[in-house]
Structure 1
Amino acid sequence: MAAPASKTVGDLNGKWVLNKALSDSLDPALTLQGVSWFVRKAIGAATVTLHVKQYLGPPAPPSTSADPVPRIDIEQVATAGVKGTTENRCLDYEFREHSDWLFGHVKGRSRFLGVAELKAWVAGEAKTEGWVEDEFAALDWLEGDGEQKGPAGETLIVNHVVNLDAAGGWTAVQVWGFQSVGGERRYTRNIVVAKGEQFVNFKMVYDYIGDDA
């Protein structure tokens, strides 16, 4: 189901199901991230639903600020016996550490960005540091007036993750926003996973299935 016009980067609240037919395969990225064959096959067979809560709240440690920041809490629920994961993000672009069963020990930071700012970041810092290989992360985003719903009129959310495990060593750049996919406006993530000189670009496309009760 296409995303209603009311759903933007300023309001991702609700339930979203990964549309496998419209999305790219996750397997090459999971392989680069060191996920086992057995787990990759289970994830490939599972239906993945995001339960998203977006709100203003106090920033998580290590921040000591008393000012509220935009926050997004996501519970990923999967079928086929796959354990879910949790994404809790403060959009103040401060690194925070997190561990889970699938991706190990990581640190991540998140922020709102406009398309022009994203393109500059991708072509500059992200490419120089080896987090992206090309401009894939910055492609295909809708930019019209209805999309500019970040706190300063931004249209996108950018997440940068660094794996801290000794055997890991990968990074990931996720860009969240809305694209026209199959002729419909849909919530989409452009993702780049990098490890050394290896890069995997892929797109995840979601169907909106309503608000959480």
Structure 2
Amino acid sequence: MSVPQSYSMLDISGKYSFNKALSDTDMAGTILTHQVGEKLKQKAVTVMSDSTVSLKHYKDADGIERIEIQHHVADHPPRSLAQILTWTEQTSESPLFGKIVTKERRVKTSELDDNYLQSGWTADSIEEGVIQVDMRSAANTQWTLSQVWGIEEINGARHHVRRTKFTGGDGNILHARLVFDYIGPL
């Protein structure tokens, strides 16, 4: 289901499900293999494709932009995560990826360093800015992932999309597009 016409990158609050048919699932699976290894890849793919995501996007009393994320996977307790869009590094432990370092911000697409991450967005996403989430492994296996969240028009419908650039420890770069269907408001 497409996002409502009133949906804006200034408030991406809502419930979403992963759209396997419109996403680059093969490439996303390859990226996951590099991140977690072949052994955990199937678990990661299941978590990704059988989940719903709730996003609560707001500015706090100090005017700092925040996104509270809750992942829901069948037969598992929900997993919560908080993003603070200040481009400040935070270290955390991920059940899939191990120890990771992340930072998030709102950014104009022209400031992104990769053509794939810059392209495909709607005019309002370009005007309001997209959300950039950078993640890197803090373990011995080094990789970096830059993911940009925005609105893309696909087959005439507006969707919440996450474009991903993954750089493996060997320097190889992979790209993938993840598309999410809007289920409804929180």
TM-score by length of 2: 0.88
Q: Match of 1:50, SS? A: strand
Number of the residue aligned with 2:166: 193
CA distance in 1, matches of 2:78, 2:37: 15
Match runs of 1:19-168 below 5 Å: 19-25=19-25, 26-37=28-39, 39-45=40-46, 46-57=49-60, 67-79=62-74, 85-118=79-112, 122=113, 134-144=114-124, 147=125, 154-166=128-140, 168=141
After TM superposition, give the deviation of residue 101 of structure 1 in Å: 0.5
Over alpha carbons, which structure has the higher Rg? 1
CA distance in 1, matches of 2:37, 2:81: 18
- Cα deviation code 1:66-88 (max 9, x no counterpart): x3410001111123x56754431
Q: Match of 2:36, SS? A: coil
After TM superposition, give the deviation of residue 91 of structure 1 in Å: 0.5
CA distance in 2, matches of 1:140, 1:84: 31
Alignment gaps of 5+ in structure 1: 59-66, 123-133
CA distance in 1, matches of 2:95, 2:88: 23
- Cα deviation code 1:133-172 (max 9, x no counterpart): x52111111124xx46xxxx53311111111012x21100
Percentage identity across paired residues of the two chains: 26
- Aligned length, in residue pairs: 181
Structure 1 residues 84 and 101: alpha-carbon distance in aligned structure 2, compared to 1, 3 A threshold: farther
RMSD between aligned residues: 2.0
CA distance in 1, matches of 2:37, 2:72: 18
CA distance in 2, matches of 1:10, 1:174: 17
CA distance in 2, matches of 1:182, 1:85: 32
Q: Match of 1:49, SS? A: strand
Letter in 2 for 1:50: V
CA distance in 1, matches of 2:78, 2:34: 20
Q: Match of 2:103, SS? A: strand
Alignment gaps of 5+ in structure 2: none
CA distance in 2, matches of 1:34, 1:5: 37
TM-score by length of 1: 0.77
CA distance in 2, matches of 1:154, 1:3: 16
Contact 1:35 1:102 in 2 (8 A): no
Letter in 2 for 1:176: W
After TM superposition, give the deviation of residue 204 of structure 1 in Å: 0.4
Structure 1 residues 35 and 77: alpha-carbon distance in aligned structure 2, compared to 1, 3 A threshold: farther
Q: Match of 1:33, SS? A: helix
